[in-house]
Amino acid sequence: MRIKQTSLIVLALIVCSSLMFAGTISGKVTYTGTPAHQKPIDMSKEPSCAKQHATPVTTETVVTGPNNALENVVVYISSGAPDDGQVPAQAVTFEQKGCQYLPHVLAMHVNQELKIVNSDQTSHNIHPLAKVNREWNKSQPPGTPPISEKYDKPEFISVKCNVHPWMHGEFAVLNTNHFDVSKGGGDFKLANLPPGKYTITAWHEDYGTQTADVTITGNETKDVNFTFKAKAY
Amino acid sequence: MNTLKPRVLLGVAFSAAVLCVILAGFAVVAFAQDAPDVGPKPSVVLKPMESHIGGITGHSADAKMNYRRYCAGCHGDYGDGNGENAVWLDPKPRDFTIATFKCRSTLTGTLPTDEDLFNTIARGLTNSNMPVWSTFTKQERADLVAYIKIFSPRWEKEKSGDPIKVPPETPVTIDSISHGKALFTKLECWKCHGPHGEGDGPSAATLTDSKDNPIRPYNFAQGKNDSRFKCGNTNQDIYKIFMTGVDGTPMPSFADVIQPNDAWDLVHFLRTLQVHRHSKENEVLSAAHGVIPPYVDKNPAPAAAPADNKAPGGGH
């Protein structure tokens, strides 16, 4: 009996340790040099949006934070991930608010449900300029239900509204569930990784792409940083 | 025995040599300008395609010479819209490699039916350099539809969208026109098309197509009795234009936001924007002394557009 109990405990420990994927890759995305000046947006042609902003908003091609942090960088595992093709059940939401897209960069898994919401008092048309996926263009008046869509191929897609030409966003449709988008401090974190050799990619809509190779052996946290060179214009 | 003087011989030989050099020069130039064979780029290998329109089956293999003779000049040897004429054309010729088409009876983002492409070739595209191809027989046209499909792998992997159902048209009355005008305002068509549909709305000047070329919204008041739309001429065609959207352009689909009967009201109003065209709608409007009464909603919805969101100006 004791041998059986011991071996059961040992078996449980082995199983448990292999289930506890707590390897993490985290770090900061920063920039060097001087980023181009972001231009203020004139929304006077759309008064219902203009009045929502006490001071005019600027373009969001390059969004920076303190200590040279670079925001809106999509960091994801581009190879080596044990992705089981699991499509998350919950939808991601893209909101049109104050004639801007929130968030500016939205990352999602292939075939994950994308919900598009119009919170403004004006009509928008939602026009993602897909080149690999299908390009569609739909009108979304105020007060109409959310639009539900999905993309079946990985791609970085520019999104625009033709009625309000200053509106610009990006969809990152990815083949993996291990992704993050850098925010205020430029931080990103990819968690719950089993041991393995990974390549991670950092993508910025203007500054391009960088990769790094990272190996996880157990439950450690590996620190990986990306530095992009700012463009003058 | 008279032999030619040496100097004359030398002269003849020299002239012949010069002539040879000139001819060789032409040959080199002609060879360099020899167009590549038409079809998908060599790196893209697609199987021969077919089309089915009514009882006719088109075969891509049979259209190759017609494409080369009539189409490649604009649409390009590789079907990418970069034919040698393209630099002088606005709008640019269609790029068949991405399989996005303006005139469809299918939902936005989906492939057109074979019949949609067949009709476009026959009808041409108003306000563009795509001619009315009345020179082709139906079989030739069907073969060309099949040929277009070899330029994009989407035709192998995806089925054409289902054509939308166009319900029977509702009667043309002043009430229908009045409701159509209310919809034109509520759905903010005027932001691009302008309050009188003249293509001068507040957003018109900044519009670009999906390849970032500037593009103008349709001007309903243009032309005389012959004024037409890009994707057809009938009320059914107008219905399909805004219910499927004009893909590749700023014109979106309104299929999710207009009910079918309301859509006919909008069609009837749009016809009255074609001020120089004789139509049933313009007759009904004349009979009402040219005045469109304000629309009275018998079942008012709770939410109303705010005051600062109205179209400027009034009716006709």
- Of the candidates B109, B254, B306, the beta carbon closest to that of A139 is on B254
CB half-sphere exposure, A58, CA atoms < 13 A: 9
How high is the pLDDT of residue B68? 95
Residue range B174-309 forms a domain whose CATH class is mainly alpha
Q: Nearest Cβ partner of B247 from A135, A139, A147?
A: A135
**Which homologous superfamily does the CATH classification assign to the domain defined by B50-157?**
Cytochrome c-like domain (1.10.760.10)
Q: Which domain holds residue A67?
A: 22-229
The band of B32, judged by pLDDT with boundaries at 50, 70 and 90, is very low
- A172 within domain boundaries: yes
CATH of the domain at A142: 2.60.40.420
Residue B308 confidence (pLDDT) above 80: no
Is residue A3 one of the residues assigned to a domain?
Answer: no
Output the six-digit token pair for B94. 């269609």
User: For chain A, which residues score pLDDT lower than 70?
Assistant: 1-20, 82-84
Asked if residue A62 is part of any domain, the answer here is yes
Question: What percent of chain B is predicted at pLDDT more than 70?
Answer: 89
pLDDT at B143 over 70: yes
Report, as an integer, the average pLDDT of B284-304.
Answer: 83
Q: Å from A62 to nearest chain B CA?
A: 21
| CA-based nearest residue in chain A for residue B204 | A163
ipTM of the modeled complex: 0.86
Instruction: Check CB contact under 8 Å for A123 and B187.
Output: yes
The answer to whether B207 contacts A134, with C-beta atoms less than 8 Å apart, is no
Contact present, B109 and B121 (Cβ < 8 Å): no
Contact B210 A135 (CB under 8 A): yes
- Domain count within chain A: 1
* pLDDT at residue B298 tops 50: yes
Contact criterion met (CB < 8 Å) for A47 and B308 = yes
Q: Is residue A58 part of a domain?
A: yes
Task: Give alpha helix (H) positions in chain A.
Answer: 2-19, 47-50
Residue B191 has pLDDT above 60, yes or no: yes
Task: Say how far residue A16 (Cα) sits from the centre of its chain.
Answer: 31
Return the sign of the alpha-carbon dihedral for residues A112, A115, A116, A120.
Answer: negative
- B chain contacts of residue A158, beta-carbon cutoff 8 Å: none
Q: Which range, B41-55, B186-200, B284-298, is most confident?
A: B186-200
Round to whole Å and give the CA distance between B105 and B112.
7
The verdict on residue A88 lying in a domain is: yes
The answer on pLDDT for B302 being more than 50 is yes
pLDDT for the residue A81: 79
Confidence of residue B24 (pLDDT cuts 50, 70, 90): low
Nearest CA in chain B to A131: B98
Does residue A168 fall inside a structural domain? yes
Q: Is the predicted pLDDT of residue B52 greater than 80, yes or no? A: yes
pLDDT in tens, A17-63: 445 678 999 999 999 999 999 999 999 999 999 999 999 999 999 99
What's the whole-model pTM score?
0.85
Q: Among the listed ranges A125-139, B6-20, B211-225, which one has the minimum average pLDDT value?
A: B6-20
CA separation for the pair A60, A40 (Å, rounded): 10
DSSP B115-172: HHHHHHHHH--TTSS----TTS-HHHHHHHHHHHGGG-THHHHSPBPPBPP-PPPPP-
Q: What is the mean pLDDT of residues B215-222?
A: 94
Assigned token pair, A85 = 């093709």
The domain segmentation of chain B, as residue ranges, is 50-157, 174-309
Asked whether residue A6 is domain-assigned, the answer is: no
